[in-house]
Amino acid sequence: MKHIHWLIPGKNHNIASIKNFTLASVRLRTYVSSINTNSYTFSFGEDMPLKTDILVIGKIGNFDLEKRAANWFKQIKMCKITDAKVILDYTDNHLIINSPFTKFYKAILPFVDIIITPSDEMSSILKNLWRGPIKTINDSIDVEVNKWTQDKNGNKLLWFGHPTNIIYLFNFLKTNQKFLKQYSIIIITSQIGIDYFNKLNDPQVNLDISTKLWSTNMLINEAKTCDICVIPSDKRDPKKKGAGHNRLITALALGMPVIATTLPAYAEFKDYFIDENDEKITDVLKDPNIMKDKVLLAQKKIVPTFNKIYISKKWHKVFNGLKF
């Protein structure tokens, strides 16, 4: 039986701890890849075991980056001596944008056997930089389908996401303030995101806003009482060109009408949400129930293809296809 090690921040993780990891790329990719299989053993953390057949490079994180990058690079190079295969799970566009992580990703490319991305758009971008095999595996979703069983009241709006997306939410609220007076607004994010929003918040944005600390259960419970989910972003931001589908699919799975920016990864699902710049946005805010058919159709046609078991099979296909 072959052994797979995921390089992720922290030491001695087990399957239970990564299932509840706060970093989405760990929870939705590392964990999902390791379920529903009897063909492989798995380990997770900073240091790979000596007997590792497949090394998967996860998100490196920014804490103590220089030291961690050196440690990870040493292990990645070692794989070429031991004939282990190296998979890069590439979820952010650090080879395109200049970031603190760019140097690390450029250094490891010559040692990578295959790159996995969360979207076709990111895979397409990478083809201009790397000639090796590239495979798209979407993020799974954390939630079960919540069927739309009763009419929406049109008085509660939800946003959830990473702190880096807070600025887009703030701009959306500021731009659409006059249409949002009837809504209470729930923001679910990390403590860093909450602090950032409170720092940004302008007294001129006079809306009923509550912030809540992120957890999967918090998201599920709040979604049951919310009428609309908003996912604003910026198509011009190069960091968003390769973004995945996760928040959009999650919101639809939870039974909420969605107002979103049509990012490249969202374009194929344009029939199931309304763009934030669409003139009909005011109609949706007045009566979210006009989106019911779109949500129900999404739950039937596209949401099932993002469940954990379906996505885990895609990971196993990649593992099984490696030539030793």
Please state, in angstroms and rounded to a whole number, the distance separating the CA atoms of residues 48 and 113: 17
Instruction: Determine the CATH number of domain 2-139+308-321.
Output: 3.40.50.2000
Answer whether 234's CB lies under 8 Å from 266's CB.
no
Query: Which CATH superfamily groups domain 156-305?
Result: Glycogen Phosphorylase B; (3.40.50.2000)
> Which residues have a Cβ under 8 Å from the Cβ of 221 and sit 6 or more positions away?
none
Q: Which residue has the tokens 């998967």?
A: 56
**Per-residue confidence of the chain (324 residues) as pLDDT tens digits?**
999 999 999 888 988 889 888 778 888 899 999 998 999 999 999 999 999 999 999 999 888 999 999 999 999 999 999 999 999 999 988 888 888 999 999 999 999 999 999 999 899 989 988 999 999 999 999 999 999 988 999 899 999 999 989 999 999 999 999 999 999 999 999 999 999 999 987 777 889 999 999 999 999 999 999 999 999 999 887 777 667 899 999 999 999 999 999 998 899 999 999 999 999 999 999 999 999 999 999 999 999 999 999 999 999 999 999 998
pLDDT at residue 165, rounded to an integer: 94
Answer whether 53's CB lies under 8 Å from 16's CB.
no
Please state, in angstroms and rounded to a whole number, the distance separating the CA atoms of residues 131 and 134: 9
pLDDT at residue 299, rounded to an integer: 97
pLDDT at residue 204, rounded to an integer: 75
Answer whether 294's CB lies under 8 Å from 257's CB.
yes
* Pairing between β-strand 156-160 and β-strand 228-231 as defined by DSSP bridges: parallel
> Which residues have a Cβ under 8 Å from the Cβ of 118 and sit 6 or more positions away?
29, 91, 136, 137, 138, 139, 242, 243, 244, 245, 246, 265
Nearest Cα to Cα of residue 95 among 65, 124, 125, 118: 125
pLDDT at residue 242, rounded to an integer: 67
Q: How does pLDDT run across 26-38, given as a tens digit for each residue? A: 888 999 999 989 9
> Which residues have a Cβ under 8 Å from the Cβ of 277 and sit 6 or more positions away?
none
Strand partners, 186: 158, 210
Give the start-end residues of each E strand in the chain: 2-7, 40-45, 54-57, 85-89, 114-117, 134-136, 156-160, 184-189, 208-213, 228-231, 258-260, 274-275
Please state, in angstroms and rounded to a whole number, the distance separating the CA atoms of residues 224 and 148: 9
Where are the CATH 3.40.50.2000 domain residues in the chain?
A: 2-139+308-321, 156-305
Q: What are phi and psi of 85, to 5 degrees?
A: -90, 145
Phi-psi region of 260 (alpha: psi -120 to 50; beta: other; left: phi over 0): beta
Nearest Cα to Cα of residue 158 among 247, 27, 240, 264: 247
